[in-house]
Amino acid sequence: MSQPNRSYKLPDAVRSEFLSWWHALHSETAAGPQRADRAALRRADSLAAVACLPAYQRIYRRLAEKADRPWAPYEQDRLAALIGLAAHLKEKDGSSLPEAMSRRAEGADRNAVSDLRFARLLDSPDLEALFVGLRRLMPLIEHRADPAQLADDLFGWGDVVKKRWAYAYRWPDKAGA
C-alpha cells in the first residue's frame, strides 16, 4: 500500500531530541550503555531487528513523548529505519545522502556509490529494501552525511525525495566513454 506522497519532516521537538540522541551516541565520551546501544543498532540488519531492540525502544519512547500526535504504522517503520541508519553515521558533514554517495576521493574518477547502485536505491520496492541498501553503502560514504537530512529524506520518502536525490547525485559523464 502506497503512503502519502508528501514532504514530511519531523516536528521540531522530535528533530531536536533525535539530534541530541545522535550526538550523544557518537560522542567520543559516550558512556558504556550508549556504546552498547550503538553496537546493537549497527548489527540490526532489518527493520524488524531494529524495532525489537531495547536500544531502539528507548529512543523511540523519548521521541514519541515529543511528537505532536501518535505515529502511523508506516511512520514507525520510517523511524526504525532512521534510528538504525543513524547508528551508522559517525560524522555529520552537512551533505545529503546523494551528495555523499557521489562524493569522490581525492584523485578518483568514480563516485563513492556507482550510478547503478544509486539507481537501484531509487527503485527500492519498499522501505525494508531501502534500509538494507542504505545500510550496506554506509562504509562507501565513510559513514558521513547529515543526520537531519537523513531524517527528512526517510520520513518523506516518495517521488518528491527520489527526484531531489536524482538531481543532487553527481551522475558520471559517459558521453566520452
pLDDT tens figures, 59-102 = 999 999 999 889 999 999 999 999 999 999 998 988 999 999 99
Residue written as grid cell 505532536: 68
pLDDT beyond 60 at 176: no
Query: Which pTM does this prediction carry?
Result: 0.89
Q: Domain 12-168 is classified in which CATH homologous superfamily?
A: CRISPR-associated protein Cse2 (1.10.520.40)
Residue 86: name the closest of 126, 133, 144, 33 by CA. Answer: 144
pLDDT for residue 3 is more than 70: no
pLDDT higher than threshold 80 for residue 177: no
What pLDDT, in 10s, does the model give residues 114-143? 999 999 999 999 999 999 999 999 999 999
95 secondary structure, DSSP code: -
Contact 9/155 with Cβ under 8 angstroms?
yes
Cell reading at 62: 523519548
**55, 37 in Cβ contact below 8 A?**
yes
Annotated domain spans of the chain: 12-168
Summarised one tens digit per residue, pLDDT across range 11-59 is 889 999 999 999 999 887 778 888 899 999 999 999 999 999 999 999 9
pLDDT tops 90 at residue 168: yes
| 82: phi then psi, degrees, rounded to nearest 5 | -60, -50
Residue 6 has pLDDT above 80, yes or no: no
Q: Where are the beta strands (DSSP E) in 29-146?
A: none
